[in-house]
Amino acid sequence: MWDLFVEFTMDRINKGFVNYSAKAIFERIRWEVDSVGGDGTYEFKLNNNWPSFYARRFMRMYPKYIGFFKTRRQTSREDRPTQMPPLSPKDYL
Which residue in 73, 45, 68 sits closest to 58, CA to CA? 68
Per-residue pLDDT reduced to its tens digit, 61-92: 999 999 999 998 877 777 777 778 888 888 88
pTM more than 0.85: no
**Residue 32 resides in a domain:** yes
**Residue 91 resides in a domain:** no
Degrees (nearest 5) of the Cα angle 74, 77, 79?
Answer: 110
Non-local (6+) Cβ contacts of 72 within 8 A are 52
**Residue 68 resides in a domain:** yes
Q: How many domains does the chain have?
A: 1
SS3 for 4-23 is: HHHHHHHHHHHCCCCCECHH
Residue 72 to residue 52: CA distance in whole angstroms: 9
**Residue 92 resides in a domain:** no
pLDDT score, position 4: 93
Per-residue pLDDT reduced to its tens digit, 29-61: 988 887 655 555 656 678 888 999 999 999 999
- The residue range of the domain holding 30 is 2-72
Of 37 and 10, more confident? 10
**Residue 15 resides in a domain:** yes
- H-assigned helices in the chain: 2-14, 22-30, 51-61
Neighbours of 93 (CB within 10 A): 4
**Residue 30 resides in a domain:** yes
